[in-house]
Amino acid sequence: MYFLRRFLLCLLLCGAAWELFESPAKASINLNVVWSASSDTNVVGYKIYYSTVSEQYTNVIVAGNVTSISIPGIVPGNTYYFAATSYNAAGWESAYSPEISYTVPVANAPLVSIASTSGGINISVNGTATSPYVIMASTNLINWVALSTNTSPFVFTDTDSSNYSQRFYQAIQESAL
């Protein structure tokens, strides 16, 4: 049977990226999920599974041969659980990746977007105007390192991102530190 050798499903704050679009008029947001491609040359696509109950996935998105998707209808305040699979040309699907969870902030979250480019990971922070934010990175969600401090809005490029097998990011308003 076909198995995925390596797969990293990551959210910004939990891996590579998320994009939170928040508006007082909206009851839900879009959440961008970004992951690292499998090193297995047989992989032709990915599926992202998610729900609000751990290991009981009620939603699946067939992403195809890309490493990011936008999930609509995400509700602030809810905790979501995500897992991914890869599949080969014959349609054989791997086992689930390790599950990750993410609780969507309710209010006053900095608006952040992430983009993977050939130069690294671009992190755009559009939080409270003229407020200082710190971009933090971690490889294990325990030890965090400050990468940049700047006044919103700004874009920071992590040119070191390719040196890590996984890297987690968060933008923290400096006054909250």
pLDDT at 17: 34
In a domain, 44, yes or no: yes
Dihedral (CA of 129, 133, 135, 97) sign:
negative
pTM: 0.52
Q: Which residue has the tokens 């390790």?
A: 98
In a domain, 2, yes or no: no
Instruction: Give the other-Cβ count within 10 Å of 144's Cβ.
Output: 16
In a domain, 55, yes or no: yes
In a domain, 128, yes or no: yes
Give the domain range for residue 161. Answer: 112-176
Domain count within the chain: 2
* CATH number of the domain enclosing 86: 2.60.40.10
Q: Quick one: 128 exposed, middle or buried, by C-beta within 10 A (0-12, 13-18, 19+)?
A: middle
pLDDT tens across the length of the chain (177 residues):
333 333 334 433 333 333 333 334 345 788 888 888 999 999 999 999 999 999 999 999 999 999 999 999 888 778 999 999 999 999 999 999 999 998 877 655 456 778 788 888 888 888 767 778 888 888 888 899 999 999 888 888 999 888 888 888 888 887 644
Residue type, 127: G
Same domain, 82 and 144: no
